[in-house]
Amino acid sequence: MGWFVYLIEATNGHLYCGVTTDLKRRFSEHKAGKGAKFFRAQKPVKIVYSEKFPDRSKAQKREWEIKKMKRIGKLELIKKKGP
């Protein structure tokens, strides 16, 4: 198994960052309106970035780093690595 940090682009262009063990399942949950309150106001469009980690702790540390980034930093991540 493994843990993923991901960025999802919403219909309004905003980026959402989260962690999961299953990217497809989590994206489906977001599309169904389950989980993050973020997606109650706008709908998810696609996963634009992901990174895999061996454990939850490392994934959550990376999630925190990404969440602290300004939008330009997140866009650079997407440009370099993609989904």
At residue 82 the predicted structure's pLDDT band, cuts being 50, 70 and 90, is: low
Sign of CA dihedral 9, 12, 14, 17: negative
Span 18-71, pLDDT tens digits? 999 999 999 999 998 887 888 888 999 999 999 999 999 999 999 999 999 999
pLDDT at position 59, please? Answer: 97
CATH of the domain at 7: 3.40.1440.10
CA distance 19 to 59: 7
Instruction: With H, G, I as helix, E, B as strand and everything else as coil, classify residue 51.
Output: strand
Q: Is 31 helix (H, G, I), strand (E, B) or coil?
A: helix
Q: Above 70 in pLDDT, residue 83?
A: no
What is the side-by-side order of every strand in the sheet holding 15-20? 15-20, 3-10, 44-53
Range(s) of the domain holding residue 20: 3-81
What's the structural domain count of the chain? Answer: 1
d(CA 29, CA 36): 9
The amino acid that residue 41 corresponds to is: A
